[in-house]
Amino acid sequence: MSTPQNPLGDRQISRKSLLKAAALAGAVPVLIGGGTALARDTAAAGGTAPLTPDCHDGDAPTGEQIEGPYFKPGSPLRTNLVTPGTQGTPLTVSGYVFGRNCAPISGALLDFWQADVNGNYDNSGYTFRGHQFSDANGAYTLGTIIPGLYPGRTRHIHVKVQAPGQPILTTQLYFPNEPRNATDSIFDPALVMTVRQVGNGSQASFDFVLNVNGTPKPSTSPTGNSPSPSPSSSSGGTTTWQAGTSYKVGDQVTYNGVTYVCIQAHTAFVGWEPPNVPALWSRR
């Protein structure tokens, strides 16, 4: 792989590259420390070819990984998992959520969970657990720390990503140059983030490519191009919440006798019942 000579590299310009160029020229998310550079321009800055999957039309979606034993539903809505007193090396993970055709997906749900600096998961609370939604450009940014190691695994971050009303991608993100990458049977080099040192912390980037074609809308329209209308939740109707159902903004459901209004389009699944997911359902 050759070393790119500019932020777009010397590859054929893809739609994603154009988006990157627009991001670099304009509304670039500000990262920890006030820097403006996304880790995605590492190739231009440091000459190291990115290991994260590049998105070109027709590319394979981001690979699935096992959920593992420590997923916990109902994580809080937050982009920064670092709380006062948190120990560990600061880490910012940022990137975009794309569809298979490289169209950015806004409103995608990203639910992250990881071990603390000592390699422990918080199974009683929600330390180092949080979900967020990609912005209008499909971008996300997570503030966290570099997770600690625990027996049997290399260093990793768990994540579930879901475009509005689409199936869930469960996967894991990895770090480059980790000795245990070579011995972890789950490790997938295609899921290695681009990571660089910035001050006393690290910045990482990873772009997800979901197995979704087209550009899901932010769900402000009741109709749109949904392939299958939802007969169970037409306007004004209230149904009982049910896992597996696709809900759109404004849908009303009842759960344990309480009525909720959908505030973020999604496909429901067990564990994300309305009381557990305030980012998706609001009590009426």
Give just the sign of the alpha carbon dihedral 154, 159, 160, 162.
negative
Of 96 and 112, CB closest to Fe ion: 112
29 binds Fe ion (CB under 5 A): no
User: Min. distance of Cβ 68 from Fe ion in angstroms?
Assistant: 5
The encoded tokens of residue 60 equal 């394979």
Q: Are the C-beta atoms of residues 144 and 132 closer than 8 Å to each other?
A: no
Of 102 and 115, CB closest to Fe ion: 115
**Around Cβ 109, how many Cβ atoms within 10 Å?**
26
Using the contact rule CB under 5 A, the part of the chain among 65-73, 128-136, 233-241, 270-278 near Fe ion is: 65-73
Distance from C-alpha of 38 to C-alpha of 205, rounded to nearest angstrom: 7
Site string for Fe ion, 228-247 (x = CB under 5 A): --------------------
Question: What does the DSSP assignment read for 118-156?
Answer: TS---SSS-TTEEEEE--TTSEEEEEEEPPPP-TT--SE
User: Min. distance of Cβ 158 from Fe ion in angstroms?
Assistant: 6
Q: Are the C-beta atoms of residues 160 and 109 closer than 8 Å to each other?
A: yes
Among 29, 61, 68, 201, binds Fe ion (CB under 5 A): 68
Using the contact rule CB under 5 A, the part of the chain among 63-71, 95-103, 179-187, 203-211 near Fe ion is: 63-71
Distance from C-alpha of 131 to C-alpha of 161, rounded to nearest angstrom: 10
Of 98 and 121, CB closest to Fe ion: 121
Size of the site for Fe ion (CB under 5 A): 1
* Helix spans in the chain (H): 15-25, 42-46
Q: Are the C-beta atoms of residues 110 and 159 closer than 8 Å to each other?
A: yes
Distance from C-alpha of 254 to C-alpha of 261, rounded to nearest angstrom: 9
In eight-state DSSP terms, residue 28 is P
Of 154 and 205, CB closest to Fe ion: 154
Using the contact rule CB under 5 A, the part of the chain among 19-27, 60-68, 185-193, 230-238 near Fe ion is: 60-68
User: Min. distance of Cβ 131 from Fe ion in angstroms?
Assistant: 17
User: Min. distance of Cβ 150 from Fe ion in angstroms?
Assistant: 7
User: Min. distance of Cβ 115 from Fe ion in angstroms?
Assistant: 6
User: Min. distance of Cβ 86 from Fe ion in angstroms?
Assistant: 18
Binding site for Fe ion (CB under 5 A): 68
